[in-house]
Amino acid sequence: MGIHGKPDWGLQLKKTVYTFDDLSELAVRLGSISQFDRRGDVIFQDSFEYGLGKWLLCGDKTGDEQILISKRSRSGGYCVKLTGGSEGSLYSAMYIHLAYPVLSKLGMECHFALEDDVDYLLFEMRLFT
């Protein structure tokens, strides 16, 4: 058992297997997208296997592109390639709106790879009340 999530104090040997208390460890063993920081409750994760239909895609509309590719996927079969436009603000973006579950601390985990020089990279969480 790993050291992630809650402590494995209830872990005891049965006849042939161990009991299993840490559900985050179980999720990782079953192939979850979230593997590193397993504290807290996951309210959304996406491996893009069902496309980009739930995402809002935007850019400066002059050559910007948001497409699914299978070249560098970290988990699952796909990832999203964002290509900035050729004029104007030179950006490409994707957004998703989620219901705010409860007033509490929030965190975000994101995996990305850079192929070319990037002027800036922005990850943003907004709370609308």
pTM over 0.85: no
pLDDT digits (tens, 9 = 90+) for 92-112: 899 998 887 777 777 787 878
Q: How far apart are CA 60 and CA 93, in angstroms?
A: 9
> DSSP of the chain, one letter per residue?
--SSSS--TT--B-SSSB----HHHHHHHTT-S--S---S-------STT-STTSEEEE-SSS-EEEEESSS-SSSS-EEEEE--SSTT--EEEE------SSS----------SS--S----------
Tell me which residues of the chain have a pLDDT lower than 70. Answer: 1-29, 31-32, 34-41
